[in-house]
Structure 1
């Protein structure tokens, strides 16, 4: 299976039409058609539903397309890092949870740019489950995950700062005027919680095993979307402070009592061989937060 053929396949998926893909790639339509047929034969599956003007993917084709996107993204990142210049260039990919401590990472990226202007940093907002998957595959160089969390098989650096857990409510909610919310307040709320693995266990620790009694009406991956659900009246969102700007909005963040905070760590696979760009980032972060590398 050649990378060239995978790029043909990716272009056809994106264009949904072999003719348009051929024009984009500057190759003939029969060449692409023949290569795709050979690819299906090699894989032993049907990738496209043929017959309509615009090509549609089969279920197997849709799965393969997602894998191809990751393969080609990893290939492009690897080639960029291999062909780095003397002053260090290349790409760093960081999967990150939403947290105020990301400011530390942003400041490190800024300092890194001053020394190595040809390094590009790609930030992907996601959850801990996806971070672990993509670090393992090699697509992400690093991940930023919320604590506490299982870091078996990972090296890590604790990032400075903490975020406070609480409830994001509308300004019309009776809870919006309170200094804090507690377990009795949650019992009467429709709740929107993070879909991240381990969230229920974290809440059970805080609530003394009562999380299963909560009225959870929705889950979220990114808090911005959750804030829109809160504004629409779907429910109130359990979240950390400082992610959504509630100034001049119809939303209010009310902290939990007793106090519940979360910290974050930068993680990477134990024994991972870093590119020069990723190694430079780690050294800069270590210096910025005055913390030795593992």
Structure 2
């Protein structure tokens, strides 16, 4: 005796009409009639008195209908409880560099939250050194790092899109009149750079200069703070685009030429056991950006 057949029987009892029950269940009338006949043969009793299209429960049918209602109610409750026990709860911690690619992460967080509202996501803005240290200690589930970076210890997903390097400077600066800046334009200038390890080495590689001739007057972890230093006249900030909204502000971003770009990757330790919440986020992200999970 299958639950599907009991639901057919319950629908016929509620409608007392096979045609209406079939329409309600989106199955054919002959299917309902055949299943009811097989059910009566299996039980060895008559469940309905039939008078043409009119149906009436027999005494045995009344008793069986009451039992079926209890069986199906218990079944539905059991299934609901199983699903409730499987509801995913927990928290995820993501350490993130500042990048416009974070929009992909934010969109996946939003989709995950709608499907699993009891998962909480914690975002901590930091640099690559902070991400590495906290991934190693287990404080972070994931990190979002700027490329290039050593990912030999990590599983990773390269996020869509790239950011362009340039200079954040006051609109009143003579350099602000240019469409782009060459590396020579930075010579002799006071520059604020990211504290991320290897930025000066990257600049040497980009500019093909062994000894950059600008003056590093300050470093920053978060570009917003650097932008305030630029506004205060401390220097120009070497940074990527799309982080500071320069519309209706006293600052402007001018890109470097030749064009220098940086991508971002989501990283997590190889062999790390992900929590159900972290695993759910990772599956959501790979679906959203159409990439397979690393093996």
Change (3 A) 1:219 1:211: farther
* Distance (Å, rounded) in 1 between the aligned partners of 2:120 and 2:211: 42
**Which residue is equivalent to 2:166?**
166
Change (3 A) 1:85 1:95: farther
1:194-273 correspondence runs (5 A):
194-273=194-273
**Which residue is equivalent to 1:185?**
185
> Residues 190 and 236 of structure 1 are in contact (CA less than 8 Å); yes or no, is this contact kept in structure 2?
yes
CA RMSD of aligned residues (A): 1.2
* Distance (Å, rounded) in 1 between the aligned partners of 2:211 and 2:160: 29
* Distance (Å, rounded) in 2 between the aligned partners of 1:156 and 1:284: 15
* Distance (Å, rounded) in 2 between the aligned partners of 1:239 and 1:123: 21
**Which residue is equivalent to 2:152?**
152
**Which residue is equivalent to 1:93?**
93
- CA deviation vs aligned residue, 1:26-66 (integer Å, no higher than 9, x gap): xxxxxxxxxxxxxxxxxxxxxxxxxxxxxxxxxxxxxxxxx
SS of 1:196's equivalent?
A: coil
SS of 2:224's equivalent?
A: helix
* Distance (Å, rounded) in 1 between the aligned partners of 2:89 and 2:204: 45
- CA deviation vs aligned residue, 1:263-290 (integer Å, no higher than 9, x gap): 0000000110000000000000010011
1:88-127 correspondence runs (5 A):
88-127=88-127
Which one has a bigger Cα radius of gyration? Answer: 2
Q: Which runs of 5+ in 1 are unaligned?
A: 1-83
SS of 2:247's equivalent?
A: coil
**Which residue is equivalent to 2:276?**
276
Compute the displacement of 1:214 (Å): 2.2
> Residues 112 and 284 of structure 1 are in contact (CA less than 8 Å); yes or no, is this contact kept in structure 2?
yes
**Which residue is equivalent to 2:52?**
none
> Residues 187 and 212 of structure 2 are in contact (CA less than 8 Å); yes or no, is this contact kept in structure 1?
no
Compute the displacement of 1:174 (Å): 0.4
* Distance (Å, rounded) in 1 between the aligned partners of 2:211 and 2:288: 38
Which TM-score applies when normalising by structure 1? 0.70
- CA deviation vs aligned residue, 1:71-97 (integer Å, no higher than 9, x gap): xxxxxxxxxxxxx95210100000000
- CA deviation vs aligned residue, 1:184-213 (integer Å, no higher than 9, x gap): 110031100001111112111101134543
* Distance (Å, rounded) in 1 between the aligned partners of 2:209 and 2:87: 54
SS of 2:91's equivalent?
A: strand
> Residues 200 and 211 of structure 1 are in contact (CA less than 8 Å); yes or no, is this contact kept in structure 2?
no
> Residues 99 and 163 of structure 2 are in contact (CA less than 8 Å); yes or no, is this contact kept in structure 1?
yes
Change (3 A) 1:85 1:263: farther
> Residues 188 and 213 of structure 2 are in contact (CA less than 8 Å); yes or no, is this contact kept in structure 1?
no
Compute the displacement of 1:152 (Å): 1.3
Q: Which runs of 5+ in 2 are unaligned?
A: 1-83
**Which residue is equivalent to 1:66?**
none
> Residues 203 and 211 of structure 1 are in contact (CA less than 8 Å); yes or no, is this contact kept in structure 2?
no
Compute the displacement of 1:157 (Å): 0.2
* Distance (Å, rounded) in 2 between the aligned partners of 1:228 and 1:85: 49
Change (3 A) 1:287 1:146: same
* Distance (Å, rounded) in 1 between the aligned partners of 2:240 and 2:115: 34
Compute the displacement of 1:183 (Å): 1.5
